[in-house]
Amino acid sequence: MEVRTLDEIRVRGFEALVKSSGPADAIRFIRSYSHGSGDYTRERKVWLEQDLDTIVAGILGRWKREDSL
């Protein structure tokens, strides 16, 4: 079994994506992901203190804001 570098894996993955979806859709797919930001541990403590309805409302509000951009 050949061990590949992370860069080789990324290149092969992107080539497969382009082959199956075409260049424009491949780029759109890649751009749909983000690395995120913030401090997960600190934010998790805040989330755990909230009830489920508050969390869901926050998620839905964020989706609506992102859709309007």
pLDDT tens digit string along 50-68? Answer: 888 988 998 999 998 888 7
Task: Indicate whether 4 pLDDT > 80.
Answer: yes
The whole-number average pLDDT for the span 5-9 is: 95
pLDDT at 21: 96
**In this predicted model, what pLDDT tens digit does every residue of 16-39 receive, in sequence order?**
999 999 999 999 999 898 777 888
- CA 29 – CA 13 distance, rounded (Å): 12
| Domain boundaries of the chain, sorted by first residue | 6-67
Helices 6-21 and 23-31: crossing angle, nearest 10°? 130
The model's pTM is 0.47
| Residue 21 burial (CB count, 10 A) | 13
